[in-house]
Structure 1
């Protein structure tokens, strides 16, 4: 059985680590921590990744490769395409976790397929794969206040006062990833789409 590929979108490096745009990276970090695993950066992959199981250790639980691109958001498609080819994964076994301006903070939406809605990471992946037919876990960050530009908003740190709420939502998004793999789309949407 082919493994699942879970890609958390974000930008590389500590300067971006706590930005709203990097919630996908935070979810991957949470999945890795749950498994007491470590991310590695294999030569030539342009990504940090870990191979995990969804379920009890030693079981026949599904495998998942979790990854964070080491490229900037608008170049994510190249590393994702390379990982899909290397692990012989179809796009239908790809789950992309990303920030979503059109969803309020504290809410998730799980879906299959669709456009990129102006998200540079999704646009890059769709262009590299030639399809948008993959799963998405859309992590609500809300719209910027007042006249603030959307790019400035997502490329700013999660405010300290909201950090605990984001931590809860990162946990829920990690749960949603595991649910999608073990329970399927319909049940996961019923449980997590707020």
Structure 2
């Protein structure tokens, strides 16, 4: 999984400009590390399951990931939904055989100066026709805690030169997300946008 993340990151850097993966991969992403999480979602029993209303429940609330890249393998039950770019709709991510979901996390969102978006997503489970548990595997690939996250000028230049985020250390951001009651990983409203975005001074 680490090798896969490295290949994905080098492809992303190359898409920003010729030889950017040679210039920035080792210095910026060479010390990244990853960890697995096994997610198990079980729908609680309900006396009136036959009713059509309240047909689904939220297994994991709307949130953004605190990683650079997250790779997800969900089982055939599905349930993963991503908020559309306009912020209004939700898109179902349908499970496919031999396919993985790659999600941009908050750290890469900031490092790319917002050119890559850390999408809001959640897990929703349908009550009808569902038995047992829904499993998924998630691999989170992250900067080390001491890493200073700051978009290089060449990356910022692709956004007409407007810097969106101030510099911050990865560890400080993780502590911000984990220590704030309203900023826990399953909540939206306290993300890297709230933590490090430079306010419009006009």
What is the TM-score normalised by the length of structure 1?
0.28
* Rg larger in structure: 2
Which has a greater percent of helix? Answer: 1
What is the TM-score normalised by the length of structure 2?
0.27
Which has a greater percent of strand? Answer: 2
